[in-house]
Amino acid sequence: MGYLYFTPPYPGCVAETIELEVNSDLILDFDHNGRLVGIEFDGKTADLLYEWAGRKHVFEKCFHHDKGHFYRFMIAPLPHTVEYVIDQHIVFHFQDDGYKGFVGIDLYNIDDYSESYLVG
C-alpha cells in the first residue's frame, strides 16, 4: 500500500473515502469541501509507486492552452494515455483502455492546493 498526499495531513481532514470507479487500486480521500486530500494505492499500482516513497514535491506546474495552469504528477512519461475525469478538475492517466496501469494525475483546480506543498 502507498499514499500520495495533496494537502498536509491533519486529524479529521478526511470526510469521504471512495474507490475510483474504474480502478479499485485507487482509493480517494476528500475533505469536507470536496477537495482531494490524497490517494491510497493498493495492489499492483502500489508496487509501481515504490520508488516514489518518501519523496516530497513530486508534482510539476504545467499549462494547457485551453484549461490554464494545473499540477501534474506522472510516474512515467508516455506519449499517449487513457484519461478518466472527475468533475472536470481531476484527470487520472492510465496506460490502457481498461484503466489499468496508473500513470499519473492532473489537478486543474489549482486554487484549492498549495503550490509550495505540491511543487516545492
For 10-30, the three-class secondary structure string (H helix, E strand, C coil) is CCCCCCEEEECCCCCCEEEEE
pLDDT, position 44:
84
pTM of the model: 0.90
CA distances from 57 to 44, 51, 95 (A): 23, 14, 23
Give 30's pLDDT tier (boundaries 50, 70, 90): very high
Range of the domain at 48: 2-118
Closest CA to 50 of 106, 4, 98, 91: 4
What integer is the mean pLDDT of 92-107? 93
Question: Sign of the C-alpha dihedral, residues 48, 21, 60, 115?
Answer: negative
Residue 27 CA to residue 42 CA, distance in Å, equals 8
Task: Report pLDDT digits (tens) over 35-60.
Answer: 999 999 998 888 877 777 777 788 99
Closest CA to 104 of 10, 33, 41, 14: 41
- Provide the number of structural domains found in the chain: 1
pLDDT, position 99:
93
How many C-beta atoms surround the C-beta of residue 35 within 10 A?
A: 18
Residue 78 has pLDDT above 90, yes or no: no
Cell readout for 63 is: 499549462
